[in-house]
């Protein structure tokens, strides 16, 4: 991204509002998720050095988000956001307030109405925010409390999260070029096996070395990665004879995987276009068993996994937009 990202913060005392425009170097789907999924909000919402921890979240009209911000001295501030109106990937609005651990609103502190509108242009997403306070005194109080500075730091946290995720994606696949690889699965022994293969073939790992499960971004469809799994191998690539690529990952039993001889090797095809990926998937999977249909994955690939009607395991990884 060559141009600077917009951050405009305007206080309007005449109608007790704050108007904010903030851009992020990511597509609309990514930014919307970051603002509406609790496991992602927990990674960036609080200004440094505070950390956000969600107690509960029900993202729907009439639902609310209940969370706390914990400081370096273990000081704790409970907050609550009540959702009024939601149009998916367009706008959401509601009331924000300080509260206690049970969610009871603290009426001694200002409460505000937030309206957040999302628009996308060329993989840059702009969030337009209008915050309305009940009185000028409430507005001046939050400004005095350092709201602008704290909000700016939280937005920078999201910038860093976006940068880290897109760096992981670019390292996983730096160029779009058709190739065929062999993908291996192990029950916690991927690093051991690949260091053995490395010693045999005298080659170096590519695409940034060994990636681990601890590098995974949060996923609303799965529980957080357990500590004992975080050091396991998420992805590794090693060129061998004739520039063929061995790729591998751990398939931990803690995540529901069962490794048996015969199901721990896949042929991985990386076509140059999504249309070709769809053709290959549709034809190769006919009469077989689909483990995962073609879909966009967090690491940037248009991915599918399946077994054909002859029992051969396949993966499709397309990196083209």
Lowest-confidence range among 111-125, 147-161, 163-177, 254-268? Answer: 163-177
User: Is pLDDT of 66 > 50?
Assistant: yes
CATH class of 7-171: alpha beta
Supply the pLDDT for residue 16: 96
Taking the CA atoms of residue 102, residue 105, residue 107 and residue 112 in that order, the dihedral angle to the nearest 10 degrees is: 150
| CA 240 to chain centroid | 32
How confident is the model over 251-274, as a mean pLDDT?
77
Instruction: Give the mean model confidence (pLDDT) for residues 129-158.
Output: 93
Gap between the Cα atoms of 62 and 84, Å rounded: 6
The domain limits of the chain are 7-171, 173-318
Please determine, for residue 265, whether its predicted confidence score (pLDDT) is greater than 50: yes
Residues 258 and 169: their CA atoms lie apart, in Å, by 27
Min mean pLDDT across 15-29, 76-90, 160-174, 183-197 is at: 160-174
Q: Summarize the confidence of residues 209-216 as an average pLDDT.
A: 82
The torsion angles phi and psi of 81, rounded to 5 degrees, stand at: -120, 115
Listed as own residue / partner, the contacts of 50-55 with beta carbons closer than 8 Å and 24 or more positions apart are 50/77, 55/101
Q: How far apart are CA 121 and CA 24, in angstroms?
A: 11
Contact 247, 237 (CB under 8 A): yes
**Which is more confident, 173 or 182?**
182
45, 64, 43: which is closest to 55 by C-alpha? 64
173-318 classified as CATH 1.20.120.50: no
Where would I find the H helices in the chain? Answer: 28-36, 38-41, 136-144, 147-172, 190-201, 227-230, 274-284
Task: Check whether 146 has a pLDDT greater than 80.
Answer: yes
Count of alpha carbons within 13 angstroms of residue 270, beta-carbon side: 19
Query: For residue 210, is pLDDT > 70?
Result: yes
CA–CA separation, 227 and 246 (whole Å): 27
Which pLDDT score, from 0 to 100, does residue 211 have? Answer: 86
- Across the chain, what does the average pLDDT equal? 86
Structure tokens at 10: 């305007």
Compute the half-sphere exposure of residue 280: CA atoms within 13 Å on the CB side of its CA: 25
What pLDDT shows up at residue 118? Answer: 97
Q: Phi then psi for 156, rounded to 5 degrees? A: -65, -35
133 band by pLDDT with thresholds 50, 70 and 90: very high
How far from 186 is each of 180, 222, 247, CA to CA, in Å? Answer: 20, 21, 11
Residue 252 pLDDT: 75
Highest mean pLDDT among 78-92, 166-180, 265-279 belongs to 78-92
């Amino acid at each position: 991204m060559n141009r600077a990202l917009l951050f405009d913060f305007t206080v309007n005392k005449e109608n007790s509002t704050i108007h904010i425009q903030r851009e992020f170097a990511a597509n609309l789907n990514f930014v919307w998720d970051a603002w509406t999924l609790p496991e992602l909000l927990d990674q960036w919402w609080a200004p440094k050095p505070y950390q956000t921890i969600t107690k509960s979240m029900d993202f729907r009209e009439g639902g609310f988000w209940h969370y706390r911000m914990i400081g370096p001295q273990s000081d704790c501030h409970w907050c609550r956001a009540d959702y009024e109106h939601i149009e998916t990937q367009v706008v959401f609005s509601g009331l924000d307030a300080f509260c206690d651990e049970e969610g009871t609103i603290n009426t001694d502190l200002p409460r505000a109405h937030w309206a957040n509108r999302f628009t996308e242009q060329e993989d840059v997403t702009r969030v337009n925010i209008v915050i309305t306070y009940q009185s000028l005194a409430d507005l001046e109080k939050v400004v005095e409390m350092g709201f602008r500075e704290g909000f700016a730091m939280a937005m920078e946290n999201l910038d860093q999260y976006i940068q880290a995720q897109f760096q992981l994606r670019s390292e996983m696949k730096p160029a779009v070029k058709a190739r065929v690889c062999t993908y291996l699965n192990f029950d916690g022994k991927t690093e051991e096996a690949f260091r053995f293969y490395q010693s045999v073939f005298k080659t170096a790992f590519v695409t940034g070395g060994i990636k681990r499960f601890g590098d995974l971004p949060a996923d609303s469809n799965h529980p957080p990665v357990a500590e004992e799994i975080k050091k396991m191998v998420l992805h590794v690539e090693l060129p061998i004879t004739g520039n063929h690529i061995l790729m591998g990952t751990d398939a931990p039993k803690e995540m529901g995987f069962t490794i048996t001889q015969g199901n721990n090797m896949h042929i991985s095809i990386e076509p140059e276009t999504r249309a070709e990926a769809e053709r290959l998937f549709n034809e190769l999977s006919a009469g077989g068993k689909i483990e995962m249909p073609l879909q966009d994955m967090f690491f940037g690939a248009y991915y599918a996994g399946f077994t054909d009607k002859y029992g051969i395991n396949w993966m499709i990884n397309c990196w083209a937009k």
